[in-house]
Amino acid sequence: MSRLLALVRRYPLVAATVLVGVLGLSLGIFDHADAVRWLFSAFGIAAALVSSVGMVRQLFRGSFGVDLLAIIAIVATILVGEYVATLLIVLMLSGGAALEDYAAGRAARELDALLKRAPQIAHRLDPDSGEAADVPATEVRVGDLLLVRPSEIVPVDGQLQSDTAAFDESSLTGESLPVERSVGDPVLSGSINGQIAATLMATATAANSQYQHIIALVEEASSSKAPVVRLADRYAVPFTVGALTLAGLAWALSNDPVRFAEVLVVATPCPLLLAAPVAFMGGMSRAARNGIIVKGAGVLEALSRAKTVVFDKTGTLTYGTPSISEVRPEAGFSADELLTLAASAEQYSSHVLAASVIGAARERGLVLHTADSASEAATFGVEARFGPGTVRVGKLSFINDGAADATATHLAGGELAMYVAVDGRFAGSIVASDRVRDNSRQSVADLARLGVRENLMLTGDGRATAQHVARQVGIVHVRADCLPRDKVEAVRALTRRPVIMVGDGVNDAPVLAVADVGIAMGAKGATAASESADVVILLDDISRTVRAVRIGQDTVRVALQSIWLGIFLSVALMVVAAFGLIPATAGAISQEAVDLITILNALRATGGRQDAVGAPRESVGGAAAPLETSEGAGRPVLPSVDRPV
């Protein structure tokens, strides 16, 4: 009963129409035909007046009052005595709004699910007693220790304090499998804890956490209107003129005013106006289900027409995290010994490559040593003393100061080397590179098949490295040594538009903003890139760019198909009605069926199960893929980065 009352309050005109219909049916059973006629006619006039007010308001907002045909049809059916058709037209008008509301709600269920799951409560741990107290998530401060119970939503971004835990991040990234986290790893708000309670330290407030950032993007995305939708609105003007002309001709040629009413009954442009908004909301819903937040229906329309794609290199086409590709020891040292010594020294370095060396050593199960003393020469290298021995790791010039026999090792395009000296003796080199993503080449090819045939790579790296990566992924045009301003100018100069720009870093924010469609990849938190982008891909997966374009194309195709389907069916019914073959009552029923058919067709934009998330997982946090090492012959050729050691 409460559900029924809620529906009545939500759709009062529908409820009133049904009530009047039931009352009229009861009067008809007791042979009170005149009472039925007056009841239906009076209700029709009242509904027409209400619709007229809404139409005038639309006109003041700059939108044509598309209910004009329905209002004229109501008046016409009353004048010619077709009062049952009058009630059906009112039901069609009010029911159409209800159908649109239902369809939009169904299409937006993935978007709404994000909003409804926003964390509200956090369990804050007392550092002294260890007891947990429930507090609103908005009161959590950076540094607070929090308890996340099994199956609970993580309230804020944090750093895991427990040894291990598993989290479901599907609503954030589209990743369907649980993600394993270890002590010290970041944990995203909005993810769902597994079956074991976990402790984490808050690293952001609720307002600055990942989930609240996604909610802001979703709210922005759900309140937009695409150019193609406005185009559908404009179709209503010629449609209305054509319908009135045809109705007038039918009346003039037949000398029967009933024909005028019969044509207008089937001419209401509800399907024309419902189709596009429902389709675009469905497209945004489908994108959200795939871990893609689209900031507006107009973005989907631009994606569907894109002709050029521009890529950043580091972190977009490549993983963005240097990994150790080979260990090259000199005579007297083994690969494991060289890596152990280097990693032990790198424990005392702040350089970006230090973590890669340490990670490679741990991957091999090597035990690192603790230094008696250590010092770092910024950007050059680190020196550590272990008992009587000294280890130096860094640039060749840094090693040459203490080991004159050190020589440069051979490097492929974009690779870099760290050199190691032990007690003044050259011990070998360690080669690092930034691997090209496994699906980068396929993604570039897939975009070309979708019509985005022009491609360009913009990077701040040197030309040799840029060309090396471009050849591997199939990109023809390259601009290297770019500053952020250079990237902006390059995108503005492109002529084949719309242009998609794909990037991930803060330095990409300006060019993402000037592109026709800016796509930020693997956004974590309120980064400048995701704020300035039109599309945010939550999963660190470049193939989602292809999926975004495909969703845009599918959405526009379904929207236009639905618009023309509604026009075709309505025109066909009008022609038949002009010859007097459809009574007004039957026409009203048939038009309601046209509304339903059009909406159901537009709902195909939600995609159903056709693109269930199941792409090969790369890395949620942007970490490199498992290390590939090689000793001796057979060194793999890998893409790389030319960052200085």
Catalytic residues: 312
Helix and strand totals (H; E) in the chain: 22, 22
Distance of CA 42 to the CA centre of its chain: 49
Q: State the burial class of residue 448 (Cβ atoms within 10 Å of its Cβ: 0-12, 13-18, 19+).
A: middle
* CA nearest to 77, candidates 250, 261, 257, 251: 261
Are 420 and 429 in contact by the 8 Å Cβ rule? The answer is yes
In this structure, the strands spanning 145-148 and 158-160 are unpaired
Are 318 and 469 in contact by the 8 Å Cβ rule? The answer is yes
Are 521 and 315 in contact by the 8 Å Cβ rule? The answer is yes
For residue 597, give every residue at least 6 positions away whose Cβ sits within 8 Å of its Cβ, in sequence order, or none: 271, 565, 569
Q: Which residue is listed with tokens 């993600």?
A: 179
Q: Maximum Cα–Cα distance for the chain, whole Å?
A: 114
CA–CA distance from 233 to each of 66, 77, 137, 374, 379 (Å)?
8, 26, 43, 71, 61
Distance of CA 8 to the CA centre of its chain: 35
Q: Which residue is listed with tokens 């024309």?
A: 272
CA–CA distance from 432 to each of 66, 336, 343, 376, 411 (Å)?
64, 16, 13, 20, 10
Question: What's the CA gap between 292 and 296, in Å, rounded?
Answer: 12
* CA nearest to 459, candidates 207, 610, 640, 247: 640
* Phi, psi for 323 (deg, rounded to 5): -125, 155
Q: What is the DSSP letter of 436?
A: B
In this structure, the strands spanning 499-503 and 308-312 are parallel
Question: What's the CA gap between 549 and 289, in Å, rounded?
Answer: 15
Question: What's the CA gap between 576 and 587, in Å, rounded?
Answer: 10
For residue 636, give every residue at least 6 positions away whose Cβ sits within 8 Å of its Cβ, in sequence order, or none: 325, 628, 630
Question: What's the CA gap between 313 and 341, in Å, rounded?
Answer: 32
Question: What's the CA gap between 434 and 324, in Å, rounded?
Answer: 9
- The alpha carbon dihedral of 479, 485, 487, 493 has a sign of negative
Question: What's the CA gap between 167 and 150, in Å, rounded?
Answer: 10
Strand partners, 537: 292, 521
